[in-house]
Amino acid sequence: MNKNTEKLKKNLKNQTVSIVNNPIHNTYPAPPFISQQQDAPGLVSKMIPRPDHGEQSYKGSNRLLGKKALITGGDSGIGRAVAIAYAREGADVAINYLPEEESDAQEVKELILAEGGQAITIPGDITSEAFCQNLVHNAAKQMCGLDILVNNAAHQQYSRSLAELTTESFDRTFKTNVYAMFWITKTALEYLKAGSCIINTSSVQANKPSAILLDYAQTKAAIIAFTKGLAKQLAEQNIRVNAVAPGPYWTPLQSSGGQPLEKLIIFGQQTPYGRPGQPAEIATIYVTLASKEASYTSGQIWGSDGGNGIF
């Protein structure tokens, strides 16, 4: 570890202490962050600072008691925060993730089990149609039903120019973010009944794309169109479809190829809050959209971007 890294770590620690009483930062770390990079898909345990998924803070109130939820990308980031929140609201939870993320997934499993609900872990690559179908069937079988589907898993790899964006990378992004959502949702309709819901994770990139995230931004715009159109299709069946559009959130997606190092160091600085969001800060949106309180809410896009107001 070089002197600059040691100094930045010390400054970050001091900064975290200094913002405890700052209502804008709400005790969460703000940039500059330590220069860090992981191989995709990235792990929570390797991030500095470690993201807050509500492990210690989220308190449930039985809003999803008895529900059965499947969450893709549930091992880390926003998906992990949603899995914890759903379990503490009384739901049984199945999470999907890549095999390389097993250590993160086991942490989530223990947190879910601690709430007394079922914790189903199903590793696998959702760029495969056959796996997506088996994922849904497996989750529904083990939980004896399915009430909530959260299409959250995503692939994000920055590319500085269109000339550098390869067909392989473009295809991987669309297969993970769009095709998988289509395959999983189509299969889930075999189990979802009246009162069930689908929640998709879009992004502010859908409405305000970054120059280095052309393919990712396209997929997030496609998710919004899919959400709004499907909500109209399923209204007669009383199945609600909504999406959440996060702004900059501190997750492994960013430190494992989602952002170049120079942008990761100042990640979230452009928001009015001057920092990225923590996964714990968005989980309640997914809870509300899955709860009976949102029974008249469908085809909506709920933004959470630290005050930029893009949605």
Residues with catalytic function: 216
**277, 234 Cβ separation under 8 angstroms:** no
Residues making up the chain, counted from first to last: 311
Phi, psi of 86, deg, nearest 5: -60, -45
Q: At what angle do helices 77-88 and 102-113 cross, to 10 degrees?
A: 20
Comparing C-alpha atoms, which of 151, 178, 46 is closest to residue 101?
46
Q: Which amino acid is at 263?
A: K
Contacts 24+ apart (CB under 8 A), 107-113: 107/44, 108/74, 108/75, 108/80, 108/83, 108/84, 111/55, 111/83, 111/84, 111/87, 112/83, 112/84, 112/87
